[in-house]
A and B are shown apart, each in its own frame.
Chain A
Amino acid sequence: MERKNLIDEINPEIRDVLIEMGAEDIFKCYQCGKCGSACPWFQVGTYDFPVFRVALEAALGTLAASEDKEELAREIDKVYRCVGCEACVDQCPHGVDIPKIFRAARRLLVDFGSYPEVLKATVRRIRETSNPFGEPKDKRPEWAKEIGIKHFDPSMEFLYFAGCIPAFDLRARRVAQATARLLLATEVPFGTLGTAENCCCEIVRRIGAEGVFTELASANIEAFLKAGVERIFVTCPHCYDSFKNEYPDLGSKFEVLHSSQYLLDFIEEGKLKPKRPFEYRVVYHDPCVLGRQNGIYDEPRSILRSIPGIELVEVEDFSRSLSVCCGAGSGGLWMEWDRDERIASVRAKQLTETGADVIAVACPYCLQMIEETTKSLDSEIPVMDVAEILAYSCLEDPGPIILPEDQS
């Protein structure tokens, strides 16, 4: 009988490749296992996700390296479970970047073409159409045309980069439009780049397709430079993280602000004045990429507090750095799980149990995941972006805003 899989062979070549691909933290791990229960999969509870072993497996050179088909399939399943929320990194006593180790393994798998078909299709669509939905490129500026946003020119203050989900998804489009309406109200000149915008490719990089990332991200940088962009205002925290923390590796030097930052600035400068009361109990869900990964916890809350009538509540024990992922990160949006096996179900339950009338988010991914999941839980609690609530309070015409009483 073949006994190979019962032994942890030490495979320095694989280890070195993984380190090369970003798994440089593997020797920091001391196997305390804290990451195992910090992981949102722990709360799902249907699968013992061995997060705490990953660093050791990478150090042994056995991660995602089996030659046995069945075992490799199990490895692929494991490696693509990680939603990159960094709850583990936040609690790790040695700051081991576990998602980065997973990403290194993913790069290895992508190089061999052995990764989930749904993600392959997503990467292919992004490569071909510059958006993950496979929509034609020229449909991208539609949302902006509807409300009369101009094309960017260098005399303008900043570029508003809506991101793929707000540009193409009909629900998220309302967020982009609400944000743009608020920006119009400030009378500060701004524009978009229309069809010259590509997907930021944060997700592509997290899936492991490094080559596609470099190609499209470079195209974005080139388009920004060509148009004379210096400041970029975004709506999606994933674009924010990518532009701010990853593009500089490719030589970019843009100032990037997330909507929760610039909208708060405009409120503080008096350019936006929340006046219409929003008399609901609102619970704010911290998106992982905005909160844990970029430290933006207070700005969205400050915006919500500036709106009259709002009662802001927190998810006890699970807010701010202890917030739980919606499950959409690092490709999770495209992975398909049963309802009882979804991270989103855990989070949606926590959010609805606060007794809030509205769930406020600041990320299109979270918006999509939580909205879908609350519906599947037969909850009628609406999910709104912070910008939508602010637009409702500030603007005469905030566009279509669906309030709790409009829901059923």
Chain B
Amino acid sequence: MVKLTIDGQTIEVDEGTTILQAANQLGIEIPTLCYHPAIEPYQVCRVCLVEVRKGTTSKLVPSCGYKVEDGIEVLTRSERVLKRRKTIVELILAQAPNSKRVQALAQDLGIEKPRFAKRREIECILCGLCVEMCNTIMGVGAISFARRGIEREVTTPYSIRSDVCTKCGACVSVCPTNCIRIEDIAGEPPEPIASEFDEGLASRPCIYLPFPQAVPNKPVIDRSNCMYFEAGTCQVCKKVCQPGAIDYDQKDEVIEENVGAVIIATGYELYPISEIPEYGGGKYADVIDGLQFERLLSASGPTQGEIRRPSDGKIPKRVAFISCVGSRDPEHHMAYCSKICCMYMAKHALLYKEHVPDGEAIIFNIDVRTSSKDYEEFYTRAKQEANVLYIRGKPSRIIKDGDGLMIWAVNTLTGKQVRVHCDMVVVSMAIVPTKETLKLTKDLRIPTNQYGFLSEVHPKLRPVESLVRGFYLAGCAHGPKDIPESIAQASAAAAKTLEMFSSGELTSEPLVATVNDDLCISCRVCIETCPYEARLYDEEKDIVIVNEILCQGCGACVVACPTGATQQRNLFDQQVIKMVEVIFGTQEPNR
């Protein structure tokens, strides 16, 4: 252990610790610029200079690389340090006047304008972080220093396009002056990883918080893009994480639980714009869907709540909203109404007008459906308070028009052609079940409708129960729904579950399948056929039996059974045949 004092405070640290690390332990802040915790100190910027006194000698050393010695006295803000640091930062600021980090350093030291002239065009201060990052940390070696003196620069070998650059962006992430560009190194722009939470309107790193209110509020690693998992390099996150919380061996865990009931609430996703060729099929950056517009409105969104269009960041002065895109279209897409769009479009238009009061919001609609409490009033408000323009007519085309978009439609009420130039278009895409829902229902053999929405037992009388007993439905996995409806259904599903648990016994319908043991040849066709897994093979008796609680009396096994061993209770073949004969008048009903 080594004992030293920093700004009068005494501390004991391990041998080999740097002064910077020791000071950090004491909570003393030393400004740095070319220092990065994951990178071996290059000690070139000299911003972190401190005064080290040992006996009668005193010297200025860079704290990021200087190892502690027993009995030294370190001063981080002595007059000598500050004077020298000020000059250093002044020199750097002259070279990189636009760098936010350098500006902040200068401000702290009270520098208003550097006394020195800018020597080179590029703002690079030759701190070497990018070079070290690329070579040592990422093991790529696409860039290095070239030439000397005033001509010294960071570049690729022979200053030609690099073939080895992986466009990982590590160099960009550490550059304090934002002067290194992937395009200059690899000859093509980087491919950012789209942020799922921001609906692709922003990028995210490979280690990230899924969304601001995530529970637990801890970052996750995107293994498919992480350079450690891809090439075994980087590990910067591990190096900088002081509590040492990064664990690359951690894996997704599958936790198995025994439960008595399952409520399926797997939500929805939006039908992709790429399915709509007449609206550009996704080729226009400024044609976005409702969820993307929601992110633009959010204070935690990609534009911090300012409405700026994705293509060039301009504030759109005219925004068109189009309803029923991909829904109410049985010919090409989904036949059903997505239900929530009319209301969220009115909300979006209203909020847009609040954000951009001189902007114009146009809603292209076929019908405006406001069939819940207070909804009609809200729609009226959007029109009367915010002067949202409702045009009745479904546009047939969105095409490029200058730096904006042109919408073609017919106003079906006036009969006139509508050609509107818009700066941005928000399309209300159809609500569809998530891919996970589709997989789940397939795996669990839970019946759905043709679009993959979960089927209920009875549309009016049993709307929250699945056709498979023990599964309950809530929210958009069952069909398009808004928030109040989803909550009502979820509450009902929970109550139904509790009702089942609290009753102490299960009741079931009497009309279930039965097996005539003498006829059963245990071919087990019924097990394959049963959608409810109500058929079990009894090894002891060598027959197939019926779990009467799971059986829903659908009759699929009765049809499949080759020997007639399976019959539906109270609905035997003879009974059905008799009924048919009576209906067709070939037999008299029994009196």
Contacts and interface: CB of A to CB of B under 8 A. Distances in A.
A31 B277 CA distance: 21
Interface in A101-151: none
B341 interface: no
B98 interface: no
A321 B277 contact: yes
A322 B398 CA distance: 12
A36 B409 CA distance: 7
A251 B331 CA distance: 29
Given A37-B397, A42-B408, A93 B415 contact: no
Interface stretch (B158-166, B253-261, B387-395, B434-442): B387-395
B244 interface: no
Contact of B412 (A32, A91, A92): A32
Contact of B393 (A33, A92, A321): A33
A322 B278 contact: yes
Interface string A14-44: 0000000000000000111111111000100
B415 A37 contact: no
The winner among A37, A91, A317 for most chain B CB atoms within 10 A is A37
A48 interface: yes
B523 interface: no
Given A32-B366, A37-B395, A37-B397, A42 B410 contact: yes
B396 interface: yes
B417 interface: yes
Interface string B373-396: 000000000000000000011111
Interface string A85-104: 00000011111000000000
Interface string B388-423: 000011111101100000001111100111100000
B412 A31 contact: yes
Nearest to A92: B331
A349 to B, nearest CB: 14
A98 to B, nearest CB: 13
B308 to A, nearest CB: 25
Contacts of A93: 324, 328-333, 394
Interface in A188-238: none
A92 B330 CA distance: 9
A52 interface: yes
A32 B393 contact: yes
A52 B328 contact: no
Contacts, number: 78
Contact of B394 (A32, A45, A317): A32
A317 B399 contact: yes
Interface residues of A, number: 23
Contacts of B397: 37-38, 317, 322
A43 to B, nearest CB: 8
The winner among B277, B410, B416 for most chain A CB atoms within 10 A is B410
A137 B135 CA distance: 84
Interface in B271-309: 277-278
A30 B330 CA distance: 12
Interface string A241-283: 0000000000000000000000000000000000000000000
Contacts of B329: 93-94
Nearest to B400: A317
A52 B278 contact: no
B534 to A, nearest CB: 41
Contacts of A94: 329-331
Interface in A311-348: 317, 321-322
A45 B408 CA distance: 11
A12 interface: no
Interface string B138-164: 000000000000000000000000000
Interface of B: 277-278, 324, 328-333, 366, 392-397, 399-400, 408-412, 415-418
Interface of A: 30-38, 42, 45, 48, 50, 52-53, 91-95, 317, 321-322
13 contacts: A31-B366, A32-B412, A34-B396, A37-B393, A37-B408, A37-B417, A38-B397, A48-B416, A48-B417, A93-B324, A93-B331, A94-B331, A322-B278
Given A31-B366, A38-B278, A94-B330, 9 more contacts: A32-B393, A37-B417, A42-B410, A48-B417, A92-B331, A93-B394, A94-B331, A95-B330, A317-B400
